[in-house]
Amino acid sequence: MHAPSRKIVMTLAAAALASALACGCSTNPVTGRNELILIPANQEIAMGVQAAPQFAQESGGPVPDATLQAYISEVGGKVAAVSDRQLPYEFTLVASKVPNAFALPGGKIFVTAGLMARMTNERQLAAVLAHEVVHAAAKHSVKQLQKQMGASVLIELAGYVAGADKAAAAKAATEIATNMGTLHYSRSDEYQADEYGLIYLARAGYNPWGMVELLNVLYGLSETEPDSLTEMFQTHPLTSKRIAETKELIENNAELNAFSPETPDPQAGRFAEMRARLLGAL
């Protein structure tokens, strides 16, 4: 939901592409479809590890409260445990007051204080974390990196990392930073993150209607606080159609339609305590 800065993009690109062309077609662990993946898993994970500290800093830094961080990790960990792709997932609550969430390649997932403060229960928090887990598990950010770079840029930058034509590679690195300063998920990626996020929620023991509640909260904010959501909507477009399709997915899926939107969230009280703690910390 957040676009990495130019410096982060450079870090991601330089760290990952030395062995980019060593990979080829692989099966997406979430969808089961064959896809061309040029960035190997170990480099994908390294990209996130190297970019995470700077990304956190640019998002206000981690909220300095161990209890809150443990809570975010617990909720995210429940969802990550049922993911179709096991990664070294890590969940961090950052202090930015701008409502947003983002998954770096390899499973480094961030949610802002500004987004958590606008939620009303734990299943909504689990929903946004599940959505981001799908982005990481399905390699959405990796595929967008590849799409925006292009094969020729990959080759040139790989040459730079290997110590070959540094002039051409430096030019390629600049091109990457320029073209990827605003990394956007496709509409297909967003619907996929919603769809499989619902399944992950149910498998983790959460009511999938939390996803609909979350989307409705954001949709309401888009009318009352449109400026606060500009950054999020650049990468995670929200439409009434997306909300309707999420409802339809729940109602037509046997794994999901046993849940009722009227059932109260049993963890709402705990979430309220954590939210109050967050507002106090801010």
Q: Which range is least confidently modeled, 102-106, 146-150, 217-221? A: 146-150
Report the alpha-carbon angle 137-143-144, nearest 5: 115
d(CA 183, CA 3): 5
Q: Residue 275 has what pLDDT? A: 98
Q: Residue 116 has what pLDDT? A: 97
More confident residue, 236 or 265: 265
Largest CA distance in the chain: 62
DSSP structure class, residue 81 = T
How do residues 4-61 score in pLDDT, each as one tens digit? 555 655 555 555 454 444 445 678 778 778 877 777 888 788 878 878 888 898 899 9
d(CA 152, CA 181): 19
Per-residue pLDDT at 106 exceeds 70? yes
How do residues 245-281 score in pLDDT, each as one tens digit? 999 999 999 999 999 999 999 999 999 999 999 999 8
CA nearest 214: which of 261, 248, 256? 261
Q: Residue 69 has what pLDDT? A: 98
Phi, psi of 87 (to 5 degrees): -130, 165
The SS3 assignment for 186 reads coil
Element (H, E) at 34: strand 34-36
Report the alpha-carbon angle 65-131-13, nearest 5: 85
Beta-bridged to residue 103, according to DSSP, are 109
Per-residue pLDDT at 76 exceeds 70? yes
